[in-house]
Structure 1
Amino acid sequence: MPSLSFTDRLSRTGELYLLAKSPDERRSGIYLATMPKSRGADGPATGSSSGDAPDGQVEVIVKFTTKYNADAHRVLADAGLAPALHACIPVCGRLHMVVMERVHGEMAWDVQQRGELLPYTVYKDVKAAIDLLHQHNFVFGDLRTPNIMCAPGASSSGSDGGSHAMLIDFDWVGTHGSARYPAILNDTLSVWAFGMQRRAMMYKEHDLAMLEKFRELCQAHTA
């Protein structure tokens, strides 16, 4: 019996449940769904398991967007620094459907809003993610706390500080020195690094400056 395509497997799961809360997220179209776990020819079922998903199913995040850097996402997913990327498929015109693993945790933004410092292990993971993207000549471009997910467990370096981090939004990622920031960037916000503005060229130095801003939100390193 021929194996089902990814879209066939996803379509058999039924409804998509709106996960987005903020107006910005709703414009992006972010949903929660389940799909059957994939199964290799000679191995067990693969995919992230979840206590909230039925047996034989896996929870996934489904996002619709006009621009997405799947290559950069896969680079970090392979290193455990982003959720697994199941698919990035053109569906209509410039619109793409992105399907990724659901990671249970909280955004760094939520921790920031409570006035708490993030664990140093989170900073280490974010720095490792940016370093790895830069090795592949990518600029992340939007290193704000809503795009950083904190999940329980050991960090990518192997240290168990109670929380590790993943980057979760690859809409803006582009090639150093040739890609440009989107026209929707609100360059009136003070959060951006110097030189970051709508339609400006993207440089690795912007990521590094944003990383320093993020470090200030994390606990100091202790030997």
Structure 2
Amino acid sequence: MAKQGFAPELRYYGLLGDGYGNLGMVVMAWVEGKTLYEVYGAGTLPEDVRTNVREALDILNQNGFVFGDLRRPNITVGDSDQSIKFIDFDWAGKSEEVRYPFHLSSFIRDAAGAKEYDYITVAHQDAMFERL
């Protein structure tokens, strides 16, 4: 996604080591801009922004990945060029291999039709896209 311009550059990924189970650390580059929520609130998104989000999702999906937390706070828009970047990849991964957590937020349940510990699917992601 970073190579395509739709995510911050990955600076580091590694496991935290003994005593931390399977937890890892991800460090990504700083992103200039504001989230879609900060810029547009709950208002209508401009068509070019929606088109850019759809393009990013298509790239993910063509490579077998999904973004399972597609909400306005998890997408930034650049101050100068209106480019978008996805942030918060906690619920992203290979389609139908990555799962939602237990204690899933009501927004995700309502927007995507997902249930706790469901595999994250393109259908969930697309349902959230329609509600952006």
Could you say which TM-score interval applies, normalised by the shorter chain? 0.7 to 0.9
Is residue 60 of structure 2 the alignment partner of residue 133 of structure 1?
yes
Q: Is the 8 A contact 1:87 1:98 kept in 2?
A: yes
- CA distance in 1 between partners of 2:123 and 2:44 (Å): 25
Q: TM-score, normalised by structure 1?
A: 0.52
Report the identity percentage.
36
SS in 1 for 2:16: strand
- CA distance in 2 between partners of 1:200 and 1:91 (Å): 26
Q: Is the 8 A contact 2:34 2:79 kept in 1?
A: no
Aligned in 2, Cα 1:83/1:89: closer, same or farther, shift over 3 Å? same
Q: Which runs of 5+ in 2 are unaligned?
A: none
Aligned alpha-carbon RMSD (Å): 2.0
Is residue 10 of structure 2 the alignment partner of residue 85 of structure 1?
yes
Aligned counterpart in structure 1 of residue 99 of structure 2, from 176, 180, 202: 180
- CA distance in 2 between partners of 1:199 and 1:190 (Å): 11
Is residue 30 of structure 2 the alignment partner of residue 102 of structure 1?
yes
Query: Higher helix share goes to which structure?
Result: 2
Q: Is the 8 A contact 1:111 1:118 kept in 2?
A: no
SS in 1 for 2:131: helix
Q: Which stretch shows the higher mean deviation, 82-91 or 183-192?
A: 183-192
The amino acid across from 1:192 in the alignment is A
- Tell me by how many angstroms 1:148 deviates: 0.5
- Tell me by how many angstroms 1:191 deviates: 4.7
Q: Which runs of 5+ in 1 are unaligned?
A: 1-75, 155-162, 215-223
Q: Is the 8 A contact 1:137 1:175 kept in 2?
A: yes
- Tell me by how many angstroms 1:164 deviates: 1.7
Is residue 121 of structure 2 the alignment partner of residue 211 of structure 1?
no
| Aligned residue number for residue 198 of structure 1 | 116
The amino acid across from 2:126 in the alignment is L
5 Å-filtered alignment, 1:95-174, equals 95-113=23-41, 116-154=43-81, 163-174=82-93
Q: Is the 8 A contact 1:138 1:176 kept in 2?
A: yes
- CA distance in 2 between partners of 1:129 and 1:191 (Å): 23
SS in 2 for 1:122: helix
Q: Which has the larger radius of gyration?
A: 1
- Tell me by how many angstroms 1:177 deviates: 2.5
- CA distance in 1 between partners of 2:27 and 2:94 (Å): 23
1:21-42 CA-to-partner distances (Å, cap 9, x unmatched) read xxxxxxxxxxxxxxxxxxxxxx
- CA distance in 1 between partners of 2:108 and 2:24 (Å): 28
Q: Is the 8 A contact 1:121 1:164 kept in 2?
A: no
